[in-house]
Amino acid sequence: MCTGLSFTTHDHYFGRNLDLEFSYHETVTVTPRRFPFDFRMQPSSKEHYAMIGMATVADGYPLYYDASNEAGLSMAGLNFPDNADYKPVDPERTNIAPFEFIPWILGSCASVEEAERALESVNLADIPFSEEYPQSPLHWIIADRERSLTVESVREGLKVYQNPYGVLTNNPTFDIQSFSLNDYMHLSPRQPRNSFAESLSFDAYSRGMGAIGLPGDLSSKSRFVRAVFTKMNSVCGESESESLSQFFQILGSVAQQRGCVLVEDDDKYEITIYSSCCNTDRGIYYYRTYENSQLSAVDMHREDLDSDALVTYPLVTGQQINFQN
């Protein structure tokens, strides 16, 4: 399904794997400050923070999968089937359609703290974008360089969780995902010590045995545990090159290879369509695709951010090979 990640070295990086069995013609999309957001149940936003991210542009509207704004706040929507429960419009609350959620937050908030306050009144209203683009069941990760939140609209209402991992996958709900980590607290990047029986001797026959028990399948709970372990134990230099590489290495630990996850109804396979990483301090959005492992990049500050027109870059999806001879 998907994995979202927030990671801070010298700069702050935010991105995700998009795992699906098909592609929606997504593009790297820059929304400048004066692109008009006409919210369905809220006043229009004529001027707002500029943002960059991955989006399908439909009828001139950027349906963002993940994005970062010029103030350093980021947000991604991840699949949340059977659990996402959007509500009827509630006149007492700030009604936001799920497809508007990323633009609304990133347009107006500069930090997780501001987003947290904005969320206090939010009702995620069951308003689809169009007949062609029906409602997607989603939950969200919102992050700046210091903190992350998880936002879930479930049967009981809107839940806003502190996310100390900077990682989000999919089902089950975030409270159960977090609780499940307790069963892995003994994992370690160090070699195991014998606590089984003093009188026996054991053979640590391979490096890496301290993490035996870490799940390796691609279901969302297993990816969550694995991504949290990899991220929390990550060791990385401060440079852009080191940071980017480490970020994509972490995402690689939960990438989906074609053939491992069969979607039976369609006889298709879920794969990691793209992996992205935005340097939120510099406004540069990097990505790679399943078939093209080279990083491509779009720098939002090379666009006219005071414009009112979207700028889109189609993905470079073919393998780009550097022949040395």
Supply the minimum distance, in Å, between the C-beta of residue 299 and its own copies. Answer: 6
Reduced to 3 states, what is the DSSP secondary structure of residue 122? strand
CB of 45 or CB of 56, closer to its own copies: 56
Supply the minimum distance, in Å, between the C-beta of residue 290 and its own copies. Answer: 6
Q: Both tokens of residue 6?
A: 């927030």
Measure the CA–CA gap between 207 and 189, rounded to whole angstroms.
9
Please choose, from the candidates 261, 251, 187, the residue with its C-alpha nearest in 3D space to the C-alpha of residue 217: 261
Supply the minimum distance, in Å, between the C-beta of residue 289 and its own copies. Answer: 9
261: DSSP letter:
S
CB of 130 or CB of 293, closer to its own copies: 293
CB of 41 or CB of 181, closer to its own copies: 181
Q: Both tokens of residue 215?
A: 């799940």
Pair 273, 19: CB distance under 8 Å: yes
Is 260 an active-site residue? no
Measure the CA–CA gap between 63 and 108, rounded to whole angstroms.
17
Q: Is the dihedral of CA 256, 259, 265, 266 positive or negative?
A: positive
Cis peptide upstream of residue 137 (ω within 30 degrees of 0)? no
Q: Both tokens of residue 139?
A: 């939950």
Please choose, from the candidates 149, 151, 97, the residue with its C-alpha nearest in 3D space to the C-alpha of residue 128: 97
Pair 263, 18: CB distance under 8 Å: no
Supply the minimum distance, in Å, between the C-beta of residue 208 and its own copies. Answer: 4
**Given 2, 109, 277, 278, the catalytic residue:** 2
Beta carbons within 8 Å of 175's beta carbon, 6+ residues apart: 159, 161
CB of 134 or CB of 321, closer to its own copies: 321
Please choose, from the candidates 71, 117, 124, 122, the residue with its C-alpha nearest in 3D space to the C-alpha of residue 97: 124
Supply the minimum distance, in Å, between the C-beta of residue 101 and its own copies. Answer: 22
Please choose, from the candidates 93, 94, 13, 102, the residue with its C-alpha nearest in 3D space to the C-alpha of residue 285: 13
Supply the minimum distance, in Å, between the C-beta of residue 251 and its own copies. Answer: 10
CB of 42 or CB of 234, closer to its own copies: 234
Beta carbons within 8 Å of 235's beta carbon, 6+ residues apart: none
232: DSSP letter:
H
CB of 45 or CB of 243, closer to its own copies: 243
Just list the catalytic residues: 2
